[in-house]
Amino acid sequence: MALVVAKFGGTSVASPERIQNVAKRLIKKKEAGDRVVAVVSAMGKTTDELVSLADAVNNAPTKREMDMLLSTGEQVSMALLAMAIQSMGHRAVSFTGWQAGIVTDDEFSRAKIEIINADRIIDELDNGAIVVVAGFQGLTHSGDITTLGRGGSDTTAVAVAHGIGADICEIYSDVDGVYSADPRVAPRARKLDVVSYDDMLELSSEGAGVLQSRAVEFARKFGVVIHARSAFSDEPGTIVKEVAPTMEQAVITGIAHDTSEMKVTIRGLADEAGMAARIFSTLASNKVSVDMIIQNASSDGKANISFTFPGSQRDIALDAVDQISKELNASEVLVDDNIAKVSIVGTGMKSSPGVAARAFKALAENKINIVMISTSPIRLSVVVDGDQVQDAIQCLHTEFGLDSDSVFEETQLSAEEIAAKMNKGR
Ligand code: ADP
Ligand code: ASP
Ligand code: MG
């Protein structure tokens, strides 16, 4: 008998039939003797549709009202799932984030979970119910509804698993595990059996949307073991846990990519102290999350600074850039929103010199120009032209011996769902 948290993402609960399938899976677990808590996302593209709806009435809604709106998506799926379970003759009870005892800070739209008081969940498990919790939401200390950032139901699942002391946190989605690259972009990607928290955190932070990075961070902090697996099959997926380094470890665990960022270059700045400080202070005071930065001095005593940031912050960032580039008398501002960041990740890199050289050579042989570079002890990221993202992933995947013999096959998703997945982050 195990105590299990099972999280189902949007695609897995996109229709009444899929909700019924989830109900059947949960009942099967219960009948096998497990105590089960389900965490659900909003159905299909509901969250995106709610965002569009907000946009239709106000192009700059307050974050508080936005969270009020977006949290409704998960409330629909949790109630429907509980009803489906009940209709199959089993006890079920659904809880909103706040009923489940999830208390967050007051950073609307990207709140952090501070406390989870799981008494009510445990009481209902003791009563023999399957408990269904709405993902992605919580309540501030002063009683306002918050959401946990896009993909945040994963974090709810890990937090609930920690709160009830679950044996495992299962994250079910439309792929059957964590792959060495997004299998929809790199069909030769291989499914990984086990990934360390450190590698997974780096992959998720750099764009591998299969697990939200905050969920992995939370899991690492509290030692929650994650099993990422398919909502449509019983095959085992990928275990994410603490892994001791070994001698046989692969140099690279996987490749993540992110097409959601854009790049700005400010040209013709005076090459003197304080310029970068002024530019990045202005961006920081506008809460722009700058990612990569490069600066180069030119021979005529002028400097250029380029940096990347999320495309979702386009308007606010470009306004700030406009203001500061005028103040600093810059000669020109260039904007490029067709870029992609490709990151190779692996704890094995630490003990393996020459990784960067190999990566750059592979890219060069495939005529892929590197626009920016950044590194950490277990990661190398390059920015390339957005049109070359797939080629870049594929050549690095091959170079580091990650290619699988088989090709990833889509089994359950409609063409429309696949297209929506591919456009995510654009
Ligand atoms: P859910 O809606 O269930 O939370 P997500 O769309 O958030 O599911 O995550 C699953 C998707 O993550 C897959 O459809 C896949 O395209 C994408 N993905 C990106 N990187 C990876 C990776 N390394 N391994 C597996 N899937 C990945
Ligand atoms: N529904 C939310 C989103 O689309 C949360 C989640 O799916 O995890 O981002
Ligand atoms: Mg997700």
In the beta sheet, which residues pair with residue 196?
241
- Which ligand minimizes its atom distance to the CA of 155? 2
- Per-residue confidence (pLDDT) for residue 300, from 0 to 100: 81
**Under 8 Å between Cβ of 180 and 399:** no
What is the 269 CA–ligand 2 centroid distance (Å)?
A: 41
- Per-residue confidence (pLDDT) for residue 424, from 0 to 100: 60
Query: What does the block give as tokens for 116?
Result: 């989870």
What is the 183 CA–ligand 1 centroid distance (Å)?
A: 9
Task: Answer whether 13 contacts ligand 2 (Cβ < 6 A).
Answer: no
Task: Answer whether 10 contacts ligand 1 (Cβ < 6 A).
Answer: yes
- Per-residue confidence (pLDDT) for residue 423, from 0 to 100: 65
3-state SS of 75-105 is HHHHHHHHHHHHHCCCCEEEECCCCCCEEEC
- Which ligand minimizes its atom distance to the CA of 50? 2
Task: Answer whether 9 contacts ligand 2 (Cβ < 6 A).
Answer: yes
Residue among 195, 223, 222 at smallest CA distance from 211? 195
Query: How far, CA to CA in Å, does 417 sit from each of 48, 52, 172, 265, 421?
Result: 13, 18, 16, 35, 6
Strand ranges (DSSP E) for 211-338? Answer: 226-230, 238-241, 254-258, 261-270, 293-297, 302-310, 332-336
**Under 8 Å between Cβ of 50 and 73:** yes
Mutate to test the pocket of ligand 1, among 39, 48, 182, 413 (most ligand atoms within 8 A of CB): 182
- Per-residue confidence (pLDDT) for residue 426, from 0 to 100: 43
Per-residue pLDDT of the chain (426 residues; tens, 9 = 90+): 899 999 999 999 999 999 999 999 999 999 999 999 999 999 999 999 999 999 999 999 999 999 999 999 999 999 999 999 999 999 999 999 999 999 999 999 999 999 999 999 999 999 999 999 999 999 999 999 999 999 999 999 999 999 999 999 999 999 999 999 999 999 999 999 999 999 999 999 999 999 999 999 999 999 999 999 999 999 999 999 999 877 677 899 999 999 999 999 999 999 888 999 999 999 999 999 999 999 988 768 899 999 999 999 999 999 999 999 999 999 999 999 999 999 999 998 988 889 999 999 999 999 999 999 999 999 999 999 999 999 999 999 999 999 999 888 877 777 787 777 776 654
Nearest-angstrom CA–CA distance, 139 and 111? 9
- Per-residue confidence (pLDDT) for residue 263, from 0 to 100: 98
Residue partners of 143: CB distance under 8 A and separation at least 6: none
What is the 60 CA–ligand 1 centroid distance (Å)?
A: 29
The pTM of the full predicted model, rounded to 2 decimals, is 0.94
Mutate to test the pocket of ligand 2, among 8, 39, 43, 47 (most ligand atoms within 8 A of CB): 47
Catalogue all structural domains in the chain, each as residue range(s) with its CATH number: 3-244+414-423 (3.40.1160.10), 265-333 (3.30.70.260)
Query: What does the block give as tokens for 63?
Result: 């974050």
Burial of 351 (0-12, 13-18, 19+ CB in 10 A): exposed
- Which ligand minimizes its atom distance to the CA of 73? 2
Residue among 259, 348, 357, 364 at smallest CA distance from 312? 259
The residue nearest atom 4 of ligand 2, judged by CA position, is 47
Token match 């509804």: residue? 145
**Under 8 Å between Cβ of 214 and 148:** yes
- Per-residue confidence (pLDDT) for residue 418, from 0 to 100: 77
**CA gyration radius for the chain?**
23
